[in-house]
Structures are given as C-alpha cells and as structure tokens.
Amino acid sequence: MSEKNKTIGILTSGGDCPGLNAAIRGVAKPVVEKYGMKAIGFSDGYRGLMEGNARGLSPDDLSGILTLGGTILGTSRESFKEIQKSPEKIEKMIENYKKFELDCLVVLGGNGTHKTANLLSEKGLNVIGLPKTIDNDLYGTDFTFGFHSAVDIATEIIDRIHSTAQSHGRVMIIEFMGHDAGWLTLYAGIAGGADVILIPEFPYSIDRVIEKLHERQSEGKKFSIIAVAEGAMTLDESKMKSKDYKAYYTSLPFPSMGYKVAAEIAAKTTLELRVTVPGYQQRGGEPSPYDRVLATKFGTYAAQMILDEKYGKMVAIKDNRITAIPLKTVAGKLKLVPRNHSLIKAGRMLNTSFGQPR
C-alpha cells in the first residue's frame, strides 16, 4: 500500500502531562504534510475509540501546538482491568479501528495505556505506543516525556519554599506525585537541595527523619526541607499486603502523605512544621524545551515506524538513543528507583537522608 492511502489514528490516554501535543505534532505532521496520509484523532482516549468519537487532523490542527500544555484530543482514564474483563469494550475498539479503516493506531500514555495497547496488538491491530507520564515509571525507557517538565515545576516549588523556610526557621514538607515510583520526588529533591527525600521504594523510619532534622539544628541550621512522594510509606507499612495497606491508609485522619509525615514528626518533636501539596500544578502548563525535543523525537520516530510498518512496539529512549521495544515487554511492568541509582549515591554523598532505618 502506498503511503498516501494509509490512515492512522491517534489518542491520548490516562493523566495529561506537558508534551502530549508536541508528540501528537511529531507523529501527525510528517505523515500528513510530508507523506500525504490521513490522520484521525480520537477524543478522550480509549473511550473515544470505543464510542467512535473522532475527527480528522488537518495541518491547521497541528499548527501552534508544540508549546501547548494538555492535549488537543482530550483524555480519560479507562482502567485496564475493566477493559480486560469487558469483551464488549474490546470489540467496540476493534470495530471502530476497522470502521475508520486504520492502518495503525498510535497511543500516547503510561502504564495502563500500554497494557491496553498490547492487548489490542495481540488482537491483531497495528499499534505503536509513545511513553508519557510525569512519574517516569514506564518500563523499557530511560525517560518519558512530561517527566522533565514536572521536575522543573517541582524543583521551582522547592526553590521558592526554601526562602520562606529559612526566614521562619521551619521544617517544610513538600508532597509530590508518585504512588509507586519516586522518580519525580528524587530528581526534584536532589535538584532543589532537599535535606530529606522519602520515596516509595525506600520505606522510611520517622526516627531517622527526626534524627536528620535534629542534626541540622545542632549545626546551626534552623530550617529543613523534606520532599516526600505521595506513595511513601514506613517500614512497617511496606510489609503490609496491598489490600490491607489500602484499608489502613484510607482510615487515617490525614488528607495525604505530606500531612501524615508532619503528624509523625509533630508527635515526637516541637519543631514548627508546614506542608505544601502542589498537586496538579506538576502536570499542567507548557512543556519544557527538553520535553518538546523528546516528544518530537518520539513522534517522528513513530512516523518512520509507520512508514516501515513496524508495529506492536513502544518508542523509547535508551542510553540517549531513540529506539523501539515490543509492547509485550512493557505491559504490566513498572520501572522503580533501584537502590544503586546514581542519584541515590549522589544524595548519600551529600548527606541527604532517605529516612532509612539502621
């Protein structure tokens, strides 16, 4: 089949993040303008594919979106577990793939998105994945687009908190996104000079955290910065079964992890504490130049894969080289912070505390 007769579909699924529009542009602009293919955008993720809610993407649609945050296609969270046990949803997606006469479906998303992408690939559809998430926890790629933008935002928040913490001599606790993986908190914590960094992969001891705060006081440092991931947990909590921990956590009288850590410190010290939860600010706004470049590289690489008819893969960056890996090796796997990661080693050299029990 000639390139001009091909039709590609594009959708963005899961949480939004900076760089989605840059990636859409990276895929669609060359296939539409350079190779004369037809591009269709499905609204609101897999839901749009199920409902057949789509529109053509013209050169005008792809103009001026490189720096735009969010996604021009809209997004939604469609649970993979729900899709997996709903044959009718799967059939509707396959039906609409055929109805729109797609030669390839390009999906932009994180872990859940790529599980569904792999499922559709196994059903015989031509699928290509692009890795996005501010959590950077997608297996098989060194970085996801959206991550560096979120690190920039989170680091700026720490920078701004530093001055008010120093002025008032307070312990400032800043809670960042990351349920299962602590990449965002780790990178922002190191970049912002946090004194304590608490992430899900390293269960903490509140006594070790307090020890670090008292150590700084004894050195004449009147303030401290604690960067905590929303999924951080104590050593005892980490030993609980997932179901038991969820029931336990939802029963706690705290709105989120940052407030829990503050309460734990307050119960054992007289330190003045404040909590900041930037929340969705970390996902909003325009992408950083790094993410614009990365998303563009991912998108154009996917466009070349479409030309070469190399489907069933996710575009990735490994050792600073753009490549592609099978969807089946990505689906269902999380990339967590390893104990020997270079930033963990750097933090320890700088006397940063990770709250580790002795």
Nearest to residue 133, comparing CAs of 240, 23, 2, 40? Answer: 23
Provide the residue type at 283 as one letter. Answer: R
Q: Are 140 and 330 in contact (CB under 8 A)?
A: yes
With the C-alpha atoms ordered 97, 99, 103, 105, is the resulting torsion angle positive or negative? negative
Per residue in 72-84, pLDDT (tens digit) is 999 988 888 888 8
What's 239's DSSP letter? T
Segment 207-212 shows an average pLDDT of: 96
* Token couple for 285: 């706004």
Partners of 106 in beta bridges? 10, 128
CB atoms within 10 A of CB 199: 28
C-alpha span between 277 and 175 (Å, rounded): 5
Task: Assign 345 to helix, strand or coil.
Answer: helix
Confidence of residue 86 (pLDDT cuts 50, 70, 90): confident
Strand order in the sheet with 54-56: 54-56, 38-42, 7-12, 104-109, 127-131, 313-318, 321-326
Q: Are 158 and 180 in contact (CB under 8 A)?
A: no
* Token couple for 134: 């501010």
C-alpha span between 67 and 289 (Å, rounded): 9
C-alpha span between 75 and 2 (Å, rounded): 31
**In terms of pTM, does the model score above 0.85?**
yes
Give the count of alpha carbons within 13 A of 67, CB side only.
2
**β strands within the chain, DSSP E:** 7-12, 38-42, 54-56, 104-109, 127-131, 171-176, 196-198, 224-229, 273-276, 313-318, 321-326
Domains and CATH numbers, the chain: 3-146+287-330 (3.40.50.450), 149-283 (3.40.50.460)
Distances (CA, A) of 274 to 161, 164, 211, 259: 10, 11, 18, 9
SS3 content of the chain, % helix, strand, coil (to 5): 45, 20, 40
Compute and round to an integer the Cα radius of gyration of the chain.
22
Segment 242-269 shows an average pLDDT of: 93
* Token couple for 84: 């997996």
Per residue in 163-184, pLDDT (tens digit) is 998 889 899 999 999 999 999 9
High-pLDDT (> 70) share of the chain, %: 99
Please name the residue that has the structure tokens 């599980």: 115
CB atoms within 10 A of CB 253: 7
| Chain center to CA of 272 | 32
C-alpha span between 213 and 185 (Å, rounded): 19
pLDDT, position 166: 87
- pLDDT at residue 358 greater than cutoff 80: no
Confidence of residue 1 (pLDDT cuts 50, 70, 90): low
The residues annotated as belonging to the active site are 135
